[in-house]
């Protein structure tokens, strides 16, 4: 199965996310486009382990998206941050987007959709949209900002702001490679 080519949305219209890095790990995994499998990222000949705190959220991508370099993106699928307990690498999860973290990675757009599981039983927070997330969990926003500002060395990523669930959906549509 090619995880990159899965549909962004199910037939029922629910967004899908593919998890690369489970919450609570320091090893950075990536989907290998040629081998169609998940592998640890290699940097300087070594398995890349984040020399910082563990990932506070499950990290992955929205299938059938690509942030094209010609339009300012990083060339990868649109990232997703899933607020849930540890989800294994390779899992495909139905999610609800509740926000958009706008990042710049050395001048390239590196936005990340903030999502919760569509299944209420798998949620770790009660927020179901940006408004309730901001009201009840604003500290989580700050934690995520700090994590991404520092996890790969200060100055690599910069926070350009946040958007709500409508901004997240617009970002998904902007980078979707399957035109309906």
Give the other-Cβ count within 10 Å of 3's Cβ: 22
Residue range 78-119, pLDDT digits in tens: 999 999 999 999 999 999 999 999 998 887 889 999 999 999
Supply the pLDDT for residue 121.
96
Bin 85: left if φ > 0, else alpha if -120 < ψ < 50, else beta. beta
* Mean pLDDT value of segment 175-180: 77
Supply the pLDDT for residue 119.
98
CATH architecture entry for 3-173:
Alpha-Beta Complex (3.90)
Q: Where are the domains of the chain?
A: 3-173
Tokens coding 64: 């059938």
């Amino acid at each position: 199965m090619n995880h990159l080519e899965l549909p962004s949305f199910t037939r029922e219209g629910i967004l899908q996310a593919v998890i690369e890095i489970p919450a609570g790990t320091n090893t950075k995994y990536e989907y290998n486009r040629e081998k169609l499998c998940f592998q640890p990222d290699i940097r300087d000949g070594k398995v890349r382990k984040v020399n910082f705190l563990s990932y506070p959220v499950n990290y992955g991508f929205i299938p059938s998206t690509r942030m094209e370099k010609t339009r300012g993106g990083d060339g990868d699928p649109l990232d997703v941050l899933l607020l849930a307990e540890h989800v294994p690498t390779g899992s495909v999860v139905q999610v609800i987007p509740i926000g958009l973290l706008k990042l710049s990675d050395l001048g390239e757009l590196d936005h990340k959709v903030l999502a919760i599981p569509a299944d209420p039983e798998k949620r770790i927070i009660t927020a179901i949209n940006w408004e309730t997330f901001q009201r009840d969990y604003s500290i989580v926003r700050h934690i995520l900002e700090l994590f991404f500002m520092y996890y790969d060395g200060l100055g690599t990523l910069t926070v350009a702001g946040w958007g709500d669930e409508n901004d997240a959906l617009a970002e998904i549509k902007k980078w979707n490679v399957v035109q309906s």
